[in-house]
Amino acid sequence: MGRSSDANPAGVTPEAASLSRIPFSMVETKEVDFLVIGAGIAGLRAAITLAGHGRVLAITKEQLGESNTSYAQGGIAVAMSGADDIAEHWADTRSAGDGLVDREAAEILVAEGPPRVGELLQWGTSFDRSAATGELQRTREGAHSRHRILHANGDATGAEIGRALLARAQTEPAIELMDWCTCTDLVQNDHGRVIGVRLLHRDGARLTVLARAVLLASGGAGEVYSDTTNPSVATGDGIAAAWRAGAAIADMEFYQFHPTAFSLAGAPRFLLSEALRGEGAWLRNDQGERFMERYHPLLELAPRDVVARAITREGMPLPSPAGGPPGVGRPVYLDLRHLAQAQPELELAARFPGISAFLARYGLLLSRDLIPVRPAAHYLMGGVETDRHGRTTLPGLFAAGEVACTGVHGANRLASNSLLEGLVFGARAAEAMLAEPPLDLTHVAPASGGVQASGGVQASADPLRPDAASIASIRRTLQAEMWRDAGLLRDAAGLNRALTCIDELALRARPIDASSSREATELANLLVLARLITRAALAREESRGAHFRNDFPQRDDQNFSKHSVCVGDEPVRFAERVL
């Protein structure tokens, strides 16, 4: 699979990484005050706030530390240089978002970012500092107007933030951390209020957890594509569960493809941080030409969607003579050799230790070699529709981080705003959750008869035990189809072909009990996510940000300067904001 897969990226000790304190064999239902699904930056930051106000349970699908947060290399964008920097950070965020950024959400992000990062510093987060002055080092990345990106350990910022937050959470006795649990569905009472979740432990045991408020902080869905920088846990579980429960899902057509994932046969699509281009790396095609001047005046520091499409076009196969079959794609390279020659004191291996160690496995050096790259699915701008406090359209349900759609990223996320979003809106969601009423179990709806596998497709009355080979085969086919027809470059014919394929795969998956194993649940969720992405992409007949239609290559503000919204199987509609 195309993903980076280094084990235990956050450096969590084996003892800390196995904190399933609740013995499944002893309890089938548990009540807490607050339930957090996910233990990345948004979930842990929320749990820390909630801990002073009741019992908190935070669950994660694998060991603690395994989340998209821990794979974030580039850094965290934060305006710590005063009012001018805050204003410029907002302007950069708005510009990158290509006309769809929610103004108030972006203002909250940039204004509340500095004090939230200040908390991280108080809690022991070790951001990189100047050896000479001791001041925080700031770098610049694509579409930023100034140096405002903080890093940790060169290219392991997310892992360091995750480590610090986990250590802080473990000091709170009110927080229980439970790993190796998959959320199969939300629990609602007969008024539609979300009052808990159903969990499946890796040993096959089941648990229902009830809470006065539930936060989805379960991350993104890069596994819907064959090529992704995400870890294997990123299967859109929170979005799919919210959709099944009837929540509004927004902006699913906007999937960001990182321009520079490592591209070598047999190697994972390891992320090669935007910070490389921030330091001055160039992009070259197979002729050795720097080509970004043909696409954007900011060259290699153009917005990610522009750079990703430029690399894709430069890497397309040349036309075959006499109408023959297309050739293989042409290589595109990241080049830092000129930096090593001009600034030998830069010490690229020390500046980017994680990336350098990865490349060394394949005999490559940043200072000596051209590094082959191509885009890969990286970040979902859409998700569960929320207001500025993490409230969804379902009472009792909140969302923060990549699983949520606050509108802060618009159609294209500004580099290094993702960690900041999880930090800021995780805290805001927690504060809003405190206002929820005590748990009322007098109107609990009966348990559902099965988990929907895709748009309206229900597990059969006589489900089969999951066949691992069948599930894996369906998953690979889905990922390849989504990459081909609902990926970086789209058109109506390809998107309709993708929908047909998704329907056929859903029928193949129908005999499988979607709640019987983690793999079966993930497949059901990926089918939901694929359909949501494809339907929204087909409905938006324009090109904007990360969504590019070959058949509608221009931005259309008259008809589409709005957000796409999906609720159940209703037709996609466009609205200013639901919340």
**CA 189 centroid distance within chain:** 30
Active site residue 3: no
| DSSP code, position 293 | G
Rounded Cα distance between 102 and 34, Å, is: 28
Distances (CA, A) of 480 to 328, 454, 476: 17, 18, 6
21 contact partners, CB below 8 Å, separation of at least 6: 176, 177, 178
Residue with tokens 């008869």: 449
Q: Which of 304, 388, 518, 531 is catalytic?
A: 304
Rounded Cα distance between 522 and 505, Å, is: 14
427: number of Cβ within 10 Å: 20
Rounded Cα distance between 25 and 373, Å, is: 48
Question: Taking Cα atoms as reference points, which of 296, 356, 365, 311 lies closest to residue 142?
Answer: 296
Rounded Cα distance between 556 and 90, Å, is: 23
Three-state secondary structure call for residue 229: coil
3-class secondary structure for 134-169? CCECCECCCCCCCCCEECCCCCCHHHHHHHHHHHHH
The answer to whether the beta carbons of residues 158 and 72 sit under 8 Å apart is yes
Question: Taking Cα atoms as reference points, which of 438, 418, 480, 350 lies closest to residue 93?
Answer: 418
CA atoms within 13 A on the CB side of 332: 24
CA atoms within 13 A on the CB side of 386: 31
- Give alpha helix (H) positions in 170-303: 237-245, 274-278
Q: Which strands form 206-210's sheet, in the order they lie side by side?
A: 29-31, 206-210, 194-201, 181-188
Residue with tokens 């085969």: 473
Q: Which residues are catalytic?
A: 304
